[in-house]
Structure formats: C-alpha cells, structure tokens
Structure 1
Amino acid sequence: MARTAPKVERLAEDGEAMTDALSTVLAAAEENGTVTWSDVSDDLTSGEWGRLIESGLLIDADGEGFVIDDPDGVREALEESDAAPSDDDEDSGWSKWDKLAGLATLGLFAGYSMTSVRDVIAGDFIDIFLGPLNDMLPFYAVILVLAIITGTTSTILQDNLMDMSGMGDHQEKMEDLKERRKAAKERDDQEALDRLEEEQMELMTDQMGMFKQQFRPMVWIMLVNIPLFLWLYWIVFGAGVDASPVITLPIFGEVEAWSNSVAGPVQAWIVWYFLCSLSFTQIIRKALNVETTPTG
C-alpha cells in the first residue's frame, strides 16, 4: 500500500477518467482472475490502458493477460481518492494568521539593531515574566530553562505545522518517476518520456510548495524565540549579569563574563544556549515521538 497510494494519486491527478478506468480494470481482474485489453476495450481508451501499464499498477501475468498489482491497496487508495477534497490549498498555503505572524516576526528583528525597540520588547515586556526567574536562578540555569522552552515550542510547532508524511510521499513519487523514466528509456518509448517530463515539471511545482510549507513553522518558532533571545541580549549587555557563579564550558574552559567571545566572535552566552538547546531538543523530540524528517 505504501507504494500503491502515490501511484493511484498520480492517476487521479490526470482526471476522473483515469480513476474510472482503473476501477473498471480492477473489477474485471477480480472477476476473471486476469484482464486483457479485449475485456475492457469498450469501457476505456487504448491511451488509458497504456497509462495503467506505465503506472505499474497493471502488470503482466506471464503472458496470460494482466493483473492488478496490490488490488487491496488499489481499492483502498481509490476510496481515499474519492473521499479526498479536490482542493488542498488551504492546508498547504499560509493562513492570514501565518502572514500576521510573519509580519510580527519581521518587526521583532528590528530589536537586534535598534536599542529602543529592544528595550521595549525585552525590558518593558519580557522581563516582567523572566525577571523573577533571573532573580532566583544563576544565569547559566536561566539560559538552560529558556533553551528547554524554545526547544519544546519549536518541536511542537514543527510537529503540528509540517506534514512530514506528505514530504515522504513526494520523495517516493520522485523515486517512482525515476524508475518509470528508466524503463521508458530502455524500451525507447518517446511518448512515455514526454509524458514523464510533464509529470516531473508538476512534481517540481509541488516541491516549491513543500519548501513554502517547511518555512511556515519557522515563522512561528521565530515569533517565540526572538523575544527570548532579545531578553538574553538585553540582560547580558544592558541590565547586567552577576558574574558569580562562573561557568566552565566544554572545550572552552572557564568563562569570566557572559559577553566574552569564546568561539571567534561568538559570545559565551550564545555558545551555552546552543549547547543546551541542541541537547534538550533531541531529548524532547524523542520523548514526544516527533519526526522531523520525511516519512512515507
């Protein structure tokens, strides 16, 4: 079924006539055990018959006709195709809230270069919530807590806003396309190659939509992370941090001040944040069973 569904979906994209043709051939094959062109020639065109063979759903039965490869999977995929809405732009596109989040994120970037904006965001707003935490804990522990918060929110947002299974299906379609193109070249079928070229262009268009979808959770992640980062920056370079206790970083050794550069121009507080974030984000993803790589 894993490889059957994408094949049926591609046929469905060619129009309802192709899914009807597949249903007709499936019914004939189940009734007779095998199916030949003469069995269904009254119900579908030779082009549709050839397309079914090319798709890999209709395979040769050792010269005794043809059979449907994975008939149960084909039947299930046809049912899902009939039930699925014809337009999924709402799922793959950006809603008005996504666009508003994007605009807000662009506004937050101003805090990195404009002190007045940073003071308002970090000092007048975020410090209300994080100031008491900073009073209770040493600064390295504050950074650790914020790394856990940002790692958790990032993981949850990615899990809810990114369709990894859809990306996996897209990769599977590309692999299947390569196999069919190779087979068409071997039999020197120029008509099939032209059709596959058009299909590849459609998949490339879909891929652009995938990239757009991947960027969607990043907007919300930055909307959460940037204010926290601005607050850390404001504390280190504005409000000031108590120098005690001093942290000893792996590889870099003892750090005298959080604003010190320890890895080229990268300062100690940034290095410590990323060490905490990378470590705990992996743990959080495992704990929540969140996949961040394409799955089929």
Structure 2
Amino acid sequence: MARTASKVQELVKEDVEMEAALEYVLDRADQGTVSWGDVSDELTSGQWGRLIEIGLLVDSNGEGFDVADPDGVREALEDDDLELPDAPDADSSWSKWDKMAAVGAIAMFAGYTFRSVREPLADTLNIVLGPLLNTLPFFAVVMVLALFTGLYSTLLQSNLMNMEVMGAYQNRMKEIQERRKDAKERGDDEALQRIQDEQMEAMADNLGMFKEQFRPMVWIMVLTIPVFLWMYAVVGFRGAPLYPDVNLAPMMMPIVGEIGWNESLLGPIQAWIVWYFVCSMCFTQVIRKALNIQTTPT
C-alpha cells in the first residue's frame, strides 16, 4: 500500500490530470481487464504509458492490463495531500486606508524636488526633532532616527504581511518548478506543456504576493519620507541648510577619515545618507533578533 501511494503521489505531482485518469481507469478495471482502446477517449497516450511504466498497470497474460493494487490506488486518491496547492484564497486586496497611504507616499516624494513640499514637512517635524539637535551631535541624532525607523518598519512588516499567504505562493511555484524539472528529465513533452501553461497561470496569480509585500512598504514610506526630508533640510542636500544655526561638525568615519555630512562618499551618495542607511540596517537586524520577528516566509 505504501509503495502504491508513493507511485500515485508521484503521478499526481507530475500531472494534476492523472488523478482523474486513474479514477477512470479504476472504473473501467472494475469491469475486467483494461486495454488502450477502453480508455483512449479519456486518457492521452502519455498518461497510459506512464501508468504502465510506473507499474500501476500490469500485463494480464496478453489480454489487456489490470490495476496492480486497486484498493491501494483508491485509498491514495482519497488522500487530500495529493491535491496540488492552488492559488491562496486569502484576500490580499488593499483597504481604502492602504490606498490613501500609497497616494500620500507618492505625494511626499515631491519633497525631494520641490521646496514648497519639503520645507513645510521639515518645519512640522522640526517641532519634535529640533530639540534633539540641541542635546545630541548630528551623528547621534541620525542614529536615533535610524533606530526609530527600523523599529516601526519591522513591526509594520510583521503585522501587515500575511506570511502564510506568501509562503503558500512560494510553495506553489516551487512545486510547479519541481514537476517541470521532472517532466523535462523524462522527456515528457505533453506533461511539460501542461506544466508550462500552469506556471504561466501561477505567475499571473502571484500578483497577490507582490501586493502583500508592498502593502507595509507604503506605510513605512509615509512615516519615513518626512524623517528623511527633515534630515535633508538640516544638512542642505542641494543648497543651504534650512536651519543654519545647527552645528554640523564633520564626522570621523572608518577608512575615509573626517568627512562633512554633505560631501560625496559613495559616488554621488552623500555621507549623511550612507551613515543613516548603515545605522538603519544594523538596528533593524538587532530589533528582529531581539523581538524574534520574522519578515519573510519560511
């Protein structure tokens, strides 16, 4: 029985239509031996050949073929685990608040170009963050902001992404790829064509996975862009700083030595941007480990 179940499992993984083909063969086998002519109206020649090749159909003294273990095949077909994973049913559609956050994030991007957007946002945030500049050096202020943004980014990803849905999408694609590889190794062109069609359909369904991944990003951007624009205004990325009284003493960095905050460090990328992203990445990893938060499906 275990061996029969394994064979049936293998067939169904190769071709989801083999489940219906096996059921049809079993029905015809109840009436006696089965020949190709008895099932050619429902089975392809490739499916018939695979049943013989894998040993589920055995020769009946030259008069046709018998199912080697009909009871075992029936029990295996009743096993729900034979079903290939369908596209996840969970609703990954965005709420109206998600869509509003996306529109807000896109609007805030204009702040990188237009002072009329950047300066009001910076002035508003400066009410809260300005006192930090009076008590801490700028490099420490950037570290505090990197810690803060890393914390809420991790929490938003953990709470807004459905890891089960994303894992189901990934498992589905992985299984299709494995079946495609097996069919290619066997040289089964019919099965390969069916699997390729299924893969194309699955790729279209994967839009749901991208929506799941991008949903927390819009909320992260809504909170992070104003913080970034405030630092932009303090440093004076493309002109004079918005707050000239702030002491922006140069910082000593490994390898490069003393460098000003608005000097280029990596190509056109300025020192303050590099420092922020280095701090953000480090703090984010520490937060994920400390809170045992997983932001990717297993």
> C-alpha distance in 2, partners of 1:263/1:250?
13
What RMSD in Å do the two structures reach over aligned CA positions? 4.1
| Deviation of the 1:153 alpha carbon | 1.3
Are residue 37 (structure 1) and residue 42 (structure 2) matched?
no
Amino acid at match of 2:294: E
* Residue 107 (structure 1) aligned with residue 107 (structure 2): yes
Who is 1:32 aligned against? Answer: none
The Cα shift of 1:275 comes to: 1.5
Q: Deviations over 1:218-239 (max 9, x none)?
A: 2111111100001111122210
Q: Structure 1 or 2: larger helix share? A: 1
2:92–2:212 contact (8 Å) kept in structure 1? yes
> Does 2:270 match 1:271?
no
- Following the alignment from structure 2 to structure 1, what is the Cα–Cα distance between the partners of residues 174 and 119? 52
Code of the aligned partner of 2:229: L
Alignment match, 1:228 = 227
Instruction: Structure 2: state its 5+ residue gaps.
Output: 1-8, 32-40, 59-67, 236-240
Q: Give the TM-score, by structure 1 length.
A: 0.69
The answer to whether residue 160 in structure 2 is matched with residue 150 in structure 1 is no
Q: How far apart, CA to CA, are the structure 2 residues paired with 1:119 and 1:161?
A: 31
Q: Distance between the aligned counterparts of 2:234 and 2:153, measured in 1?
A: 23
* SS at 1:239 equivalent: coil
Question: Which structure is larger by alpha-carbon Rg, 1 or 2?
Answer: 2
The question of whether the paired residues in 2 share the 8 Å contact of 1:121 and 1:230 is answered with yes
SS at 1:254's partner residue? strand
How do 1:78-227 and structure 2 match up within 5 A?
A: 88=90, 91-123=91-123, 125-185=124-184, 189-227=188-226
Structure 2 CA distance, aligned partners of 1:234 and 1:185? 58
CA distance in 2 between partners of 1:102 and 1:138 (Å): 34
User: Contact (CA 8 Å) 1:259, 1:268: kept in 2 or not?
Assistant: yes
1:260 aligns with 2:263: yes
CA contact (8 A) 1:249 1:272 kept: no
Query: Retained in 2: the 8 A contact 1:92–1:213?
Result: yes
Q: Distance in 2 between matches of 1:110 and 1:234?
A: 14
| Helix, strand or coil at the partner of 1:275 | helix
TM-fit CA distance, 1:173: 2.4
Partners of 1:122 and 1:231 within 8 A in 2: yes
Task: Indicate the percent of aligned positions where both proteins have the same amino acid.
Answer: 48
The equivalent of 2:62 in structure 1 is none
Gaps of 5+ in 1: 26-35
Quick one: structure 1 residues 182 and 115, their matched pair in 2 at CA, closer, same or farther if it must change by over 3 Å?
closer
Q: Which residue of 2 aligns with 1:283?
A: 286
Name the aligned partner's letter for residue 280 of structure 2. Answer: S
Q: Which 4+ runs in 1 deviate beyond 6 A?
A: 39-42, 59-63
CA contact (8 A) 2:166 2:212 kept: no
| 1:41 to partner: Cα distance | 6.9
1:40 to partner: Cα distance: 9.3
Q: Distance in 1 between matches of 2:30 and 2:142?
A: 71
Q: CA deviation at 1:38?
A: 4.5
The structural deviation recorded for 1:277 is 0.7
Residue 181 of structure 1 contacts residue 196 of structure 1 at CA under 8 Å; is this kept in 2? yes
What's the secondary structure of 2:289's corresponding residue?
helix
Match in the other structure for 2:35? none
Which amino acid in structure 2 is aligned with residue 154 of structure 1? S
2:5 aligned residue: none
Structure 2 CA distance for partners of 1:37 and 1:224, relative to 1, 3 Å: same
Structure 1 residue 262, shift from structure 2 partner: 2.8
In 2: Cα distance, 1:211 partner to 1:148 partner: 27
Q: Cα distance, 1:247 vs. partner?
A: 2.5
